[in-house]
């Protein structure tokens, strides 16, 4: 009797334990479902696109790029199909070469584009005229009368181009060679660093002078010279104008604005800039230079620029500028310049050393070096 009752008690305890296990599992499942429902609800309510920022565009407006992407304010940010939006932009806007799209929580989308800023006119085998970019994409059809208004390639014919698609030619070798040239011309500038008297300004003036004599007199002070005909624009010698009420910096601003306007035209330009924005403070000079110089260094244009700002050279290293410098050394208490062009950015500073060579008080020199270390973050 006792054994039977014991078995009954054990069975009752086991059944109660099973009910508790089932109840606990059900509770956990309900909690998980509640969490999932809360996440889905939060995503649907809170992560909606409200801002779309476009970066890197100069050919197309931000509104055109946003419209082409088909991303709409109010779309769910986390379910935006980035690959589809990229394809939409490239299909609708032929000047766009590359696109990247990033989410910016909680409600933003950033569209970064890279556009073809250089284009050359080429005739087709049916006597139509097209603009092509460095990647070989047909950008747009233009009137034959406008052919000479653009940099153009003679001796190359295209076969039935379609806007936004890669072009073909009856002479594929000639087409490949032409595209190689376009790629080399796209975004290649020269940035010179060096101390005062090292030869930066003289070097840039010499290049501009040779371009001028080559284009006007068919002579050149060099072993050889090869370049397209270019419009020459220079900001090497600027001064304030009391009569006009313009300061040195304002004159710089007005001059560089003309450069920016000219850079929007299809005709190639040679831009020569010596110590860009030196009429203002260091921080804003570097910031403005970083913004302006990559903008000029697009399309068929060539940019020659000199600067004392090593920091600017570092910022422009990834913007299509080849970095070169002039250097000097101190020998027997004198500054000695080799007047040779060296590859890469300048890595030394000598302004305070020059003060020392010209017998500035030692305590002043010491204080200058100490301040320099603090500004460089070494103090």
pLDDT tens by residue, 288-307 = 999 999 888 877 788 999 98
Q: What are the extents of the domains in the chain?
A: 51-115, 120-181, 189-348
Largest CA distance in the chain: 127
pLDDT greater at residue 71 or residue 378: 71
d(CA 139, CA 179): 14
Same CATH fold assignment for domains 51-115 and 189-348: no
Average pLDDT, the chain: 81
The predicted model scores a pTM of 0.58
Q: Kindly state the tokens that stand for 316.
A: 């422009």
pLDDT of the residue at 85: 93
* Residue count of the chain: 379
**Cβ-based neighbours of 330, under 8 Å, separated by 6 or more:** 336, 350, 353, 357
Confirm if 319 and 297 have CB atoms less than 8 A apart: yes
Residue 324 reports pLDDT greater than 90 = no
Q: How much of the chain, in percent, has pLDDT values that exceed 90?
A: 17
Q: Where are the alpha helices (DSSP H) in 160-247?
A: 172-185, 200-217
CATH for 51-115 is 3.10.20.310
| Interval 232-257 mean pLDDT | 85
DSSP category for residue 190: E
pLDDT tens by residue, 170-224 = 888 888 877 776 666 655 688 888 877 788 888 999 999 999 998 888 888 888 7
Residue 164 reports pLDDT greater than 70 = yes
Confidence of residue 258 (pLDDT cuts 50, 70, 90): very high
The distance of Cα 321 from the centroid of its chain, to the nearest Å, equals 11
Q: How much of the chain, in percent, has pLDDT values that exceed 70?
A: 85
The answer to which of 4-13, 100-109, 135-144, 329-338 has the lowest mean pLDDT is 4-13
pLDDT of the residue at 2: 47
pLDDT greater at residue 38 or residue 80: 80
Q: Where are the alpha helices (DSSP H) in the chain?
A: 2-46, 62-69, 82-92, 172-185, 200-217, 248-263, 282-296, 310-316, 351-357, 362-375
pLDDT tens by residue, 55-88 = 888 789 999 999 999 999 988 888 889 999 999 9
Locus of tokens 């097209």: 130
DSSP string, 125-164: TTS-EEEE-TTSBEEEEE-GGGGGGS-EEEEEEE-S--TT
pLDDT of the residue at 233: 92
Locus of tokens 């390639």: 153
**Cβ-based neighbours of 147, under 8 Å, separated by 6 or more:** 121, 123, 129
CATH for 189-348 is 3.40.50.300
Locus of tokens 């653009």: 150
pLDDT of the residue at 44: 55
């Amino acid at each position: 009797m006792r054994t039977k009752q014991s078995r009954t008690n054990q069975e009752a305890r086991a059944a109660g334990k099973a009910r508790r296990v089932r109840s606990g599992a059900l509770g956990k499942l309900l909690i998980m479902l509640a969490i999932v429902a809360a996440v889905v609800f939060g995503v649907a309510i809170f992560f909606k696109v409200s801002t779309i920022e476009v970066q890197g565009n100069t050919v197309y407006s931000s509104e055109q790029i946003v419209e082409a992407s088909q991303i709409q304010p109010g779309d769910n940010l986390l379910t935006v199909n980035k690959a589809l939006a990229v394809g939409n932009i490239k299909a609708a806007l032929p000047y766009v070469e590359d696109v990247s799209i990033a989410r910016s929580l909680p409600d933003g989308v950033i569209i970064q584009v890279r556009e073809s800023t250089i284009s050359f006119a080429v005739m087709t085998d049916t006597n139509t005229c097209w603009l092509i970019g460095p990647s070989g994409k047909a950008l747009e059809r233009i009137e034959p009368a406008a052919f000479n208004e653009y940099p153009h390639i003679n001796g190359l014919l295209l076969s039935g181009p379609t806007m936004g698609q890669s072009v073909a030619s009856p002479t594929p070798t000639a087409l490949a060679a032409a595209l190689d040239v376009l790629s080399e011309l796209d975004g290649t500038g020269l940035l010179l660093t060096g101390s005062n008297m090292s030869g930066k300004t003289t070097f840039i003036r010499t290049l501009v002078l040779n371009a001028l004599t080559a284009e006007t007199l068919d002579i050149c002070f060099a072993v050889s010279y090869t370049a397209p005909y270019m419009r020459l624009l220079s900001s090497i010698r600027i001064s304030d104008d009391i009569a006009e009420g313009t300061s040195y910096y304002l004159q710089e601003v007005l001059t560089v604005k003309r450069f920016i306007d000219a850079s929007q035209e299809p005709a190639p330009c040679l831009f020569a800039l010596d110590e860009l924005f030196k009429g203002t403070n260091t921080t804003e000079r570097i910031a403005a230079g970083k913004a302006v110089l990559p903008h000029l260094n697009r399309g068929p244009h060539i940019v020659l620029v000199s600067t004392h700002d090593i920091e600017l050279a570092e910022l422009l290293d990834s913007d299509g500028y080849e970095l070169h410098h002039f250097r000097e050394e101190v020998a027997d208490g004198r500054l000695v310049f080799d007047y040779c062009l060296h590859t890469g950015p300048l890595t030394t500073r000598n302004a305070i050393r020059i003060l020392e060579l010209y017998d500035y008080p030692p305590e002043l020199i010491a204080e200058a070096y100490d301040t320099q270390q603090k500004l460089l973050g070494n103090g």
